[in-house]
């Protein structure tokens, strides 16, 4: 069996081309806190790494700075389950972000809708990475 470190069990890593902008986006939209970045550790800017808190123990969001043109849109994907999908959608749209309904052709979405009553929406971060917001309280999202 694999033994995991107590404080960090998993990273969810996204590639970005502007580390400062990415940190601001995830702090502003989701309330994540910067736990570590190259400035805190007094490392050269070429290191291009930041870690942000996630709303559950044992995991962090890692932002990996890569050169312009090297990132492929959709290099990562996050999914969060929330208590109120409609409120979450209104909130992110109030921040000027576009959202769209999660289509049935997403893996397991048909089952999630029919069997468990989950539904949600998709938004993109400034670097084209998908963020899916899911919940079971769907009410006329479109």
Do residues 55 and 97 share a domain?
no
Do residues 85 and 125 share a domain?
yes
Note down the domain range covering 22. Answer: 10-65
Please state the separation of Cα 9 from the chain's center in Å. Answer: 17
Within-domain flag for 55: yes
* Alpha-carbon dihedral angle through residues 102, 104, 106, 107, given to the nearest 10 degrees: 130
Q: Report strand pairing: 77-81 vs 130-135.
A: parallel
Whole-Å CA distances, 45 to 7, 33, 55, 108: 26, 19, 27, 40
The CATH number of the domain holding residue 118 is 3.10.180.10
Which pLDDT score is estimated for 56?
A: 81
- pTM for the model stands at 0.74
Average pLDDT per run of 10 along the chain, which is 142 residues long? 61 86 94 86 74 86 75 69 85 92 61 64 87 69 46
Do residues 61 and 82 share a domain?
no
Which pLDDT score is estimated for 29?
A: 94
Which pLDDT score is estimated for 101?
A: 78
Do residues 89 and 44 share a domain?
no
Within-domain flag for 129: yes
């Amino acid at each position: 069996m694999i033994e995991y470190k107590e404080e960090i069990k998993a990273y969810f890593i996204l590639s970005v081309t502007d580390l400062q902008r990415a940190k601001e986006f995830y702090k502003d939209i989701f309330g994540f806190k910067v736990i570590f970045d190259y400035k805190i550790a007094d490392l050269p800017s070429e290191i291009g790494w930041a870690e942000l808190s996630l709303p559950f123990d044992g995991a962090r969001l890692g932002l990996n700075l890569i050169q312009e043109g090297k990132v492929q849109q959709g290099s990562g994907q996050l999914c969060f389950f929330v208590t109120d999908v409609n409120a979450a959608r209104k909130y992110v749209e109030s921040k000027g972000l576009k959202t769209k309904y999660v289509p049935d052709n997403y893996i397991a979405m048909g089952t999630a809708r029919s069997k468990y009553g989950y539904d949600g929406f998709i938004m993109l971060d400034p670097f084209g990475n998908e963020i899916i917001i899911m919940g079971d309280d769907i009410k006329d999202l479109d």
